[in-house]
Structures are given as C-alpha cells and as structure tokens.
Amino acid sequence: MPTIKDVAKKANVSVATVSRVLNQTGYVNEETKKLVERAIKELNYIPNELARSLYKRESRIIGLIIPHLSTYFFGELIEAIEEYFAEDNYKIMIFNVREDLSQEEKIFNVLSQYNIDGLILITHLPKMDRYMDLDIPMISIDHRSKNSIPSISSDNVEGGRIAARHLLDCGATNILHVRGPSVLSTVQDRSEGFNEILEKHSLQAKSLDVDFRAPSLKQIQAFITEHPDADGIFCDSDILAITTMRALALNGKDVPGDVQVIGFDNTEMSELITPSLTTIEQNIDNLAKTAHDTLLQKIKKQLVKQNHITLPVKLINRESTIK
C-alpha cells in the first residue's frame, strides 16, 4: 500500500507539500498541486484519515448513542440522520448501549480517544457530567438533559391528545392504553396528553406497560382478555399497535369493527399491514434535519437560539379506526 512518502517521491516534492495538498492548508502553487494530485491518483493513495483528523483536530465523525437498534423507528431515524450528515461529508459512529449501563464506560473510553466532532444522544446517560467534560458539541433527541444540552423532540403531549380525540370521535368509550415503560419521558408525555383529553370527558383508560422493543404478545392478549368491553386502544408505538392487533385477532376481535387501534410513529410498516394502521406521525425527516442543523451550529460555535425544539405531530388516518 503506497504511503505519503511514495506520493512525495513520485511528484518530486516534499512530504510536507503533499500534506498541505491533502489537508488544504498553507500555500501550494497550482502546478505543484496538480503534480501531487496526479501522483495520488496514479498510486491509488488512500490518506490515513485518523492521522489527518489528529492534525486538523477534526475527524468528520459524529457519534450517535442509542438505547437499541431493534426498532423500526430508530432504524429509520438513524438512516435519515446519516443521510443529512453525509451531505456535509460526515460519517456516523453508532454506539448501541442496549440499556446496559456497563456499556457507558466503553463508550466514554472511545469518545476520549477519538477526535469526535459532535455527539447525538438518543438515550439517557446517568454520568452525563463526565461527557460534558470531554467538551464535545452535543445535542439530544427525545429527552431533555439537566446539563442544558440543546434537545429536539416531537410534540408527544399533543400526540397523546390527538390519539384520544380521534378515538372519542370514532365513538370509543371503553379505552385501553398499551405503552412502553412509564419511566421513559416520551411515554410520560404521551400519557399526559392522552389522559388529559379522556378526563375532560369523564373517562379513564386502563393502561399496560410492556417492553418497547419486543412486546409480549401473551401479556397484551391477557390484558385484552381482562377487559372484554374495550372498544378502543391507544398504543405508544406502531410495533406495540401491530402486536396488539395480532392479540385482538387471537381473541376473536375484529379491527376496527370490535376494537379500534391507533399507534404512534408512522413507520413504514404501519401502511403495509392489514388493516393498515391509523397512527400519530413523528416526522422522521424533520427530526433528522433539525438534529443535523442544530449540531452543526454547535460544532461551528454558532448561537443555538432554542435550547429545546418541539416538532409538530399529526394524525395519519387509516383502516384500524372507523373514521
């Protein structure tokens, strides 16, 4: 594999001149620059990106810390974030904590050693102060940090309100709520909005907490069996809603004839199932673009005008509800 010395020898210039061409620093006359570029092409020389990042004090790498990879929503969000940063020649380094606190130490060590340009948090880190000491520009998605890190989230409270209003408009009165762990801030916000509307109509939903990633079909089926008069169910994600629809089918219930179901996220699969799923849309592209724009402002040391950005959500009406 050719080295920078080989390029310098072929172009009959110094290693320092090749370095200036590669890093676009210092003056190199146009004729010499063309000689170096021709030598790079003929030798098929690939620069050492790590060395360049140490020299320039930038890596063009964005760290992305997520709780897990095994949900459609996170998969679609990561892909959208990656596309936006790729347009600015950034690469994404993904850290999957898998809800395992022991991973935090490993992540911290990697961030300490690599010259990460920016960091996006889509999970809560208990030892946040340590990360702040690294002085890496960072933002968070879907949760607010006590450390005044700029955060971006969909309007989860309003999403809960929209779901409740729609079920009520469709005639549901015996309503269930299948949600992820209630310790999550997104779940708390959706529950707040959902319950707010039901209480105004003197109604109260029975709720069930399940695993967001791999909800138990048997657990949801048992919950439905316990409430045979249920005629509407709000689920905190599309995967929860699809699992709930399967549980209803196993219990001999028709959707939407017997029970109407509404999800949250509007992932691609929500339109592909039968009946197609009515859901609350989080605009993934908008989340990704806002995260990209805000983090770049931090990286460039520009003023971030809003410390917390709330993005709108909307109802996507399909076949799992009557209207």
Burial-class residue 9 by CB neighbours within 10 Å (0-12, 13-18, 19+).
middle
Domains 61-153+285-311 and 156-282 share a fold: yes
- Written out in words, the top-level CATH class of the domain with range 61-153+285-311 is alpha beta
Residue with tokens 């931090």: 298
Contact by Cβ (8 Å): 159, 193:
yes
CATH number of 4-47: 1.10.260.40
Thinking of the domain 156-282, which architecture would CATH place it in? 3-Layer(aba) Sandwich (3.40)
Contact by Cβ (8 Å): 173, 163:
no
The pLDDT score that the predictor gives to residue 126 is 61
The pLDDT score that the predictor gives to residue 159 is 98
> Which is higher by pLDDT, 107 or 268?
268
Q: What is the per-residue pLDDT across 83-136, written as a single tens digit (0 to 9) for each?
A: 999 998 888 988 887 766 667 777 777 777 777 889 998 876 666 677 777 788
- Going by C-alpha positions, the residue among 263, 243, 239, 235 that lies closest to residue 319 is 263
The pLDDT score that the predictor gives to residue 105 is 73
The pLDDT score that the predictor gives to residue 127 is 65
pLDDT grade for 180, boundaries at 50, 70 and 90:
confident
CA pair distance 108, 134, nearest whole angstrom: 9
Compute the radius of gyration of the chain from its Cα atoms.
25
Domain boundary assignment for the chain: 4-47, 61-153+285-311, 156-282
For the chain, give the mean pLDDT.
88
Does this model's pTM top 0.85? no
